[in-house]
Structure 1
Amino acid sequence: MNRQVYQERRTYQRYDESHIIGYLNEEVLENYVPQNNQGGESEESPEPWPTAFAYTGSESDGGTVMACEKQDDSGELANAIIRTRYTESQELAIQRHAINGEYEEAPQEYEQYNSWCQYAVQTAKDWIAAKAAQ
């Protein structure tokens, strides 16, 4: 996984016709001091950024490439985010276990899944709202 820090909040953008690159796992960093790009200590300390945003993903820029056909639909975006962690088969199995009361052996499994789905839905809504505000 790769982590990158930006001065502005990132959302998603078209990667190709059937994929997006999205910036997940946002971490808000207050008074972030950028590291020196030369790799050594400099005489002058860089100016801190009032707020910075860190993203962790599979791509070198901290993004994650996700399959997504309808790139302006919050449901499709949420599904793309969910698929970064759960395949459709895994999702259905977790839901079946919950419906049948069989998740008592690993109750955190459903809680983690449900939490990730809630994160995905809220993130997708936030991304759509941010795109509309541009």
Structure 2
Amino acid sequence: MLLFGLGVLSGVTTALFGFGGGFVTVPVVYAVAATGPAAMHVAVGTSAVVMLVNSLGATITVVRAGRLRRAYVWPLAAFIAVGAGLGALAATSVPDGVLHALFAAYLALTILDSVLRRGFLGGGRPQR
């Protein structure tokens, strides 16, 4: 039931903020499910798979609604593929503790940005 509740929390924070799923998924998998020297790698990988499934679902919804601008897809997909490949190589070449520290720094910076950026918490229109 605990994992079910945390999964729901992950979905709610993602829907509300657009970035909350990894904030919940990574620490939960790290603390509960992953063990051994590669625990952080397992946690980050699990979060990446969740993002992949969710992004595929969103893409299917956009395609069905006829709102996909196909001219933008392949150039963007190429950059995403290159970034994902480089990120995977980098993540697998660093020790678990370094990955843990980098994730903590990412969390801190994202939370700081969310609090300080005008419009995010104040209900105003976000800057573009």
TM-score, length of structure 2 as denominator length: 0.29
Q: Which has the higher helix share?
A: 2
> RCO higher in 1 or 2 (8 Å CA, sep ≥ 6)?
1
